[in-house]
Amino acid sequence: MTVAAGIGYALVALGPSLALFVSVISKKPFLILTLLSSTLVWLISLIILSGIWRAFLPLNSATWWPFAILLFTSVAFQEGLRLLFWKVYKRLEDIMDAFADRVSKPRLYLTDKMQIALAGGLGHGVAHAVFFCLSLLTPAFGPATYFVDRCSQIPFFLVSAIIALAFVMVHTFSMVIAFNSYAEGNKVDQLFVPVVHLAAGMMTLINFASGGCIVGIPLLYLMAILTLMHCGRMVSRRLTENHRQGSS
Amino acid sequence: MAMKIVSLFLLFIFQFRLSLSGQMSSMESVPDLQKSMYMVVDGFPCVRLVNLSGEIGCSNPGRDKVVAPIIKYKNTTELAQPSAILLSMDDVQGFFSRISNDSSFARNVGGVLVESGVEIQHKLKGFSPAQKFPQAEFSPYHNTTYEWNPIGSGIMWKSYNFPVFLLSESSTSTLQEIAMKNEKTERAYTTNVAEFDVVMQTTKVGTHDSESCLKEETCLPLGGYSRKKMSFANRSDVYSYGDITILLRGGMLRGGSVWSALPPIDRLSSNQSKPIILAVASMDAQSFFRDKSLGADSPISGMISLLAAVDALSHVDGLDDLNRQLVFLVFTGEAWGYLGSRRFLLELDQQSDAVHGLKSTLMHLVMEIGSTGRGLNQGNKTFFAHTEVSSASNETLDALKLAQESLKSDGVTISTANSSNPGVPPSSMMAFLRKNSSTSGIVLEDFDTIFANKFYHSHLDDSANINSSAIVAAASLVARTLYVLASDNKNLTSSALSAINVNASLVEELISCMLDCNPGLSCELVKSYISTTNTCPNHYVGVVLGEPSSTPHPNQVDDISRFVWNFLADRTSTPKGDTSVCSQDCGKKGGVCIRAETDGKGVCVISTTRYVPAYSTRLKFDSGTWQLLPPNSSDPMGMLDPVWTESNWNTIGLRVYTVQDAAYDRLVLLGGITVTVLAYLAILLTRAYITKALKQD
């Protein structure tokens, strides 16, 4: 498929993340640190999960329910880690606020907190994209292409890049929603994030069916756009509330 | 909103039947993915051979791999771009003649894949890529336009600047499917291509004749001293072979002609003046595809007849008392300018170590056993004795008649060849006659005026092309004739003759060992003498690496030569049963070590069996390189010798995979860039909006 196509696939999967990094994250060192640490946390979660699941591999690919169980346990574990991540962040936030008070500098703004959440989410998303798409992309730089039987209209590498992009969106914005909901104590939103994560994961099971990717991928993007819209609504609500609070 | 999503989701789950038929190929890593993208195809290549005046054979046109879409050939095929042509056997002749006539068609031939299969073979009436008079330049008579092989198309003697592969049976069906997929074009932006890697060093360096390529060390001379094995992905029986300066040379094997005396010649005795009866056969074959040179009828059936005759004669008592000495000789390299026989005759003149015990003055007559496998005609086994018009071979003919008498009940007949034939057919006898036109000699063949072998020097000359009962009959004929000749009519009784019987099951076993892949060289007979990892036998002569000598190390000799040497040494050894474990003084008491690879240190037997190197008389190995000697009028055949060499190569491979159009690749790149830019713009817009919203008072 040559170098051009390889770069194209990499950009499809990670281009928006790159754009986000360059325009928002790279400006503040703390965000870069947050991104890196959340990437690391996500990868560690994968290592632990693979360690636990090693005993049950290889899974029989003729049935779909072992994969459903795998996805469920993985999502549950990662959501648990997200809670832990939030708790660590809360402690850090308290430390930073105390420090700011001591040096008579302003405390973290709402936008700062949201940017930290965004960086955390982006870390998760980038880790997913790198692990599940970029690592498979090396053969894409060679002359040959590859088509999977059950999704024979689109090259395999394109499919994996598109799915990776959807998951980047899901991870990035659901972290913002999650942090916000933990801060506000909003139960509905707290449930929203794991449910959407699980649903997005289960959507990929549709790819098992012959020709399933034509249905599965649009559904996955539906989840991603849902997350994006919900995040946007929540952010604008919080900002206007905050602004009103601040000005009143 | 959430409820709507969930209901939609459930709807899809239930409406969509998850069809999980068929097992997914399990891939566990990225290298597995890479391997499944590129399918390595099993095949036999045609390589580049070089002589003094030019080249023949096939090669990639340059230094790069050839990548071309696969198209099935039909008579009406027109090529719009360089393509890989999938050719069936009945189209081969037509295709190659179209190549030579239509240059615009030939320009678009990127590579050729030839199908193979058992049904294909039955359909074909004959196929021979050899010339109509093979090696006519060496004939001792002037009529060089006589067509011994009228089916011969001569296609293997032309030069092609594209690679040609013979596919194995399994690859043939795979590639036929792929060619059909290409035709149907279900996806407009992909094609299935074949990637040929047959880059020859002589093409890379630009040495297009033997003299320059030997000097530049980009080629090696053909000869029975080395079998070059190719590097071919996923073939376990091949190694890599390449340029000396860049890569290690792979496991080069050497072989050579083999001669054996029955009974063993007493080295210490000064009375070595018994006239010699020489029984000759050859063991090398030729084909368009170097690794599929079986040569079942021509010449292996003759070699098997000779080996079976030796076995039959080994059970005869009193050979010591006969007037004449029997010597058996199996040449290699005969198909490439009679290398084995010419070198043997030269060594005989020089009285070298390799031929110690033989003298050219003692050569009484030569009996060559050519092809014998097609001698079966409606239950009768008929053979023909070809002799040079002027030589006095009445003695041999009389002996043959006596043998025929004793075999009358088996329906074996021998007749003299048609007098309208210009002389002996292409055979090692030509070399003997060119050297000394008064040599008394006979060539035993299964044909009269034209070859009975319709697949002469092709990859289709396999065990299905011969009949074992014809070989047994020829072996009986040869064994009894040799006994008559050796006894020189002294105390010859018909009972003694009828006691000489050929073991038919030995012949069957030799056929299955030498000409089939199953059991091939892992058969019991071969395994009892040599140890080898190959199973499929191949009789291509190979190349000579390094200095040829008459005492090569056993692990430098190729499988067939080693087997023949061991077999002859075992059968001609005396006394039977008197064997001991091999030690240093085995050679001193006139013995040789047989079964050295399979039976511990080996067994020492008293036998006169030697290797003789087989390479062109125009070449000399001097201080690490091959030198071309100038033509010498005392070596008339050397003056005619084309001096065949084979180009070196790095690897040879054939892969098939799917490629996308370049336009599609560019589209993907554009898509990626667009997604990135759009995302960046969206982020900027959002940031601007938020900043504006925050600034609003």
Residues of B in contact with A16 (CB under 8 A): 675-676, 679-680
Amino acid (1-letter code) at residue B300: I
- State the pLDDT at residue B249: 27
CB contact under 8 A, A1 and B665: yes
Of A113-127, B474-488, B543-557, give the lowest mean pLDDT range.
B543-557
CB contact under 8 A, A219 and B12: yes
Question: What are the tokens at B567?
Answer: 């077999």
d(CA A48, CA A45): 5
Q: Which residue of A has its CA nearest to B186?
A: A153
- Is the Cβ of B683 closer than 8 Å to some Cβ of chain A? yes
Q: How confident is the model at residue B162 (pLDDT cuts 50, 70, 90)?
A: very high
Q: What is the pLDDT of residues B409-433, one digit of tens each?
A: 888 999 998 889 999 999 999 999 9
Q: For B56-132, where are the alpha helices, taking DSSP H only?
A: 92-101, 103-107, 118-123
Q: Nearest CA to B135 among B390, B391, B457?
A: B457
Question: What are the tokens at B610?
Answer: 């030697």
Question: What are the tokens at B170?
Answer: 């399994």
- Answer for the pair B50, B543: CB distance below 8 angstroms, yes or no: no
- Is the Cβ of B9 closer than 8 Å to some Cβ of chain A? yes
A155 secondary structure, DSSP code: -
**Geometric angle at alpha carbon B37, from B33 and B42, rounded to 5°:** 120
Q: How far is B175 from chain A (nearest CA, A)?
A: 17
The residues pairing with B67 across neighbouring beta strands, listed in sequence order, are B195
Residues of A in contact with B38 (CB under 8 A): 144
- Answer for the pair B443, B434: CB distance below 8 angstroms, yes or no: no
Q: What is the pLDDT of residues B502-520, one digit of tens each?
A: 999 999 999 999 999 989 9
- What is the pLDDT averaged over residues B386-394? 72
CB contact under 8 A, B669 and A24: no
- State the pLDDT at residue B232: 32
- Is the Cβ of B38 closer than 8 Å to some Cβ of chain A? yes
Those residues of chain A that have pLDDT short of 70 are 1, 247-248
d(CA B530, CA B544): 21
**Strand B190-200 relative to strand B380-386, pairing:** unpaired
Mean pLDDT, chain B, whole residue set: 85
The H or E element that residue B110 is part of is strand B109-114
- Is the Cβ of B693 closer than 8 Å to some Cβ of chain A? yes
Q: Nearest CA to B626 among B692, B546, B565, B556?
A: B546
The H or E element that residue B199 is part of is strand B190-200
The H or E element that residue B563 is part of is helix B559-571
CB contact under 8 A, A58 and B662: no
Q: What is the pLDDT of residues B235-260, one digit of tens each?
A: 222 333 333 222 222 222 345 899 99
Q: Nearest CA to B271 among B365, B359, B364, B353?
A: B359
CB contact under 8 A, B659 and A144: yes
Q: Report the Cα–Cα distance between both ends of chain B, in Å, rounded.
A: 33
Residues of B in contact with A2 (CB under 8 A): 662, 665
CB contact under 8 A, B24 and A58: no
Q: How far is CA B24 from CA A148, A210, B8, B41, B332, in A?
A: 9, 11, 29, 22, 51
Q: How far is A78 from chain B (nearest CA, A)?
A: 22
Q: Which residues, including other chains, have CB under 8 Å from residue B445's CB and lie 6 or more apart?
A: B370, B371, B372, B383, B384, B386, B417, B425, B427
CB contact under 8 A, A5 and B660: yes
Of B33-42, B81-90, B215-224, B650-659, give the lowest mean pLDDT range.
B215-224
Residues of A in contact with B18 (CB under 8 A): 64, 208-209, 212
Q: How many CB pairs under 8 A join A and B?
A: 147
- State the pLDDT at residue B23: 41
Q: Is the pLDDT of residue B408 over 70?
A: yes
Q: Nearest CA to B220 among B626, B512, B523?
A: B626
CB contact under 8 A, B697 and A18: no
Chain B (516-555) residues lying within 8 Å, Cβ to Cβ, of chain A: none
Amino acid (1-letter code) at residue A221: Y
CB contact under 8 A, A15 and B672: yes
Chain B (307-366) residues lying within 8 Å, Cβ to Cβ, of chain A: none
Q: How confident is the model at residue B313 (pLDDT cuts 50, 70, 90)?
A: very high
Q: Nearest CA to B564 among B348, B306, B322?
A: B306
Burial of B54 (0-12, 13-18, 19+ CB in 10 A): exposed
The residues pairing with B659 across neighbouring beta strands, listed in sequence order, are B191
B283 secondary structure, DSSP code: -
SS3 B76: coil
Q: Which residue of A14, A17, A23 to mutate against B (max B Cβ within 10 Å)?
A: A23
Q: What is the pLDDT of residues B11-52, one digit of tens each?
A: 443 333 333 333 445 777 899 999 999 999 989 999 999 999
Q: What is the pLDDT of residues A34-49, one digit of tens each?
A: 999 999 999 999 999 9
Q: Which residue of B has its CA nearest to A5?
A: B665
Q: How far is A118 from chain B (nearest CA, A)?
A: 12
- State the pLDDT at residue B3: 55
- State the pLDDT at residue B13: 38
**Geometric angle at alpha carbon A164, from A160 and A167, rounded to 5°:** 145
**Strand B190-200 relative to strand B257-262, pairing:** unpaired
Task: Identify which of A19, A20, A215 has the shortest CB distance to residue B16.
Answer: A215
Mean pLDDT is highest, among B30-34, B259-263, B299-303, for: B299-303
Sheet (strand B55-58) strand order: B159-160, B55-58, B48-50, B645-647, B219-221
C-alpha torsion sign, points B29, B31, B36, B41: negative
Residues of A in contact with B16 (CB under 8 A): 206, 209, 212, 215
Residues of A in contact with B694 (CB under 8 A): 111, 239, 243
SS3 B475: helix
Q: What is the pLDDT of residues B627-650, one digit of tens each?
A: 899 998 888 899 999 999 999 999
Q: How far is A46 from chain B (nearest CA, A)?
A: 16
Q: Which residue of B has its CA nearest to A8?
A: B669
- State the pLDDT at residue B388: 82
Q: How far is B689 from chain A (nearest CA, A)?
A: 10
Amino acid (1-letter code) at residue A227: T
Q: How confident is the model at residue B548 (pLDDT cuts 50, 70, 90)?
A: confident
Chain A (114-143) residues lying within 8 Å, Cβ to Cβ, of chain B: 135-136, 138-139, 142-143
d(CA A202, CA A207): 10
Chain B (67-106) residues lying within 8 Å, Cβ to Cβ, of chain A: 67
Q: How far is A82 from chain B (nearest CA, A)?
A: 22
Q: Give backbone dihedrals phi and psi of B278, rounded to 5 degrees, phi first.
A: -100, 120
pTM: 0.85
- Answer for the pair B532, B237: CB distance below 8 angstroms, yes or no: no
- Is the Cβ of A7 closer than 8 Å to some Cβ of chain B? yes
- Is the Cβ of B40 closer than 8 Å to some Cβ of chain A? no
Task: Identify which of B190, B677, B694 has the shortest CB distance to residue A145.
Answer: B190
Residue B584's Cβ-side half-sphere holds a number of Cα atoms within 13 Å equal to: 0
Residues of A in contact with B19 (CB under 8 A): 209-210
B251: Cα separation from own chain's centroid:
17
Q: How confident is the model at residue B300 (pLDDT cuts 50, 70, 90)?
A: very high
Q: Which residue of B181, B676, B678 to mutate against A (max A Cβ within 10 Å)?
A: B676
**Strand B363-369 relative to strand B441-445, pairing:** parallel
CB contact under 8 A, A8 and B670: yes
CB contact under 8 A, B30 and A135: yes
- State the pLDDT at residue B158: 94
Task: Identify which of B20, B36, B38 has the shortest CB distance to residue A62.
Answer: B20
Amino acid (1-letter code) at residue B226: S
Q: Nearest CA to B457 among B221, B284, B646?
A: B284
Task: Identify which of B2, B664, B676 has the shortest CB distance to residue A16.
Answer: B676
- Answer for the pair A170, A223: CB distance below 8 angstroms, yes or no: yes
Chain A (208-237) residues lying within 8 Å, Cβ to Cβ, of chain B: 208-210, 212, 215, 219, 222, 226, 235-236
Q: Nearest CA to B541 among B645, B649, B471?
A: B645
Task: Identify which of B16, B666, B675 has the shortest CB distance to residue A12.
Answer: B675
- Answer for the pair A168, A17: CB distance below 8 angstroms, yes or no: yes
Radius of gyration of chain A (CA): 19
Chain A (66-105) residues lying within 8 Å, Cβ to Cβ, of chain B: none
- Is the Cβ of B631 closer than 8 Å to some Cβ of chain A? no
Of A165-174, B338-347, B603-612, give the lowest mean pLDDT range.
B603-612
The H or E element that residue A76 is part of is helix A65-102
